[in-house]
Amino acid sequence: MVALRKVLVVDSGHRTETDLLSTELAELGLASITTSVEAAEAVLDMMDLPSAVFMNMPGRPEGLEPLRRLAATLRGSDRTAGVPIIEWTREAALSVGGVSALLKAAIGPQALHAPET
């Protein structure tokens, strides 16, 4: 059996019915694990290196700073070297053509075609 590409979705822990990022990733054939910002590093320690980390940025100011701080930490970490850290908002995704366009820009054209081995 071939493994699916895996991505980690980190959010503030407050999800609404419009937070459909994991659903969109699944529709693209990607396996995602969603976790809160507080548990993100522990989850990363337990999983294989993901293809990307999506920081699901809230539409309101509260909760934004911890996600930005974690994104900066992950970008500077040897543990996630080479892994795209994507600060995701629905507006940003729509402006570039959706989640698949964001992934192709961050990972490359193979982002949605070749599963990890």
Q: What is the pLDDT of residue 82?
A: 87
Report the alpha-carbon distance of residue 79 to residue 96 in Å, rounded: 28
What radius of gyration do the chain's Cα atoms show?
13
Confidence band for 28, pLDDT divided at 50, 70 and 90: confident
Residue 9 is encoded by which pair of tokens? 């979705």
- Residue 35: Cβ within 10 Å count: 17
Report the alpha-carbon distance of residue 79 to residue 24 in Å, rounded: 26
The string of pLDDT tens digits covering residues 55-100 is 988 777 777 899 999 999 999 999 899 888 988 877 776 777 777 7
Report the alpha-carbon distance of residue 117 to residue 1 in Å, rounded: 9
Q: In CATH, which superfamily holds the domain spanning 6-109?
A: Response regulator (3.40.50.2300)
Task: Report yes or no on whether pTM surpasses 0.75.
Answer: yes
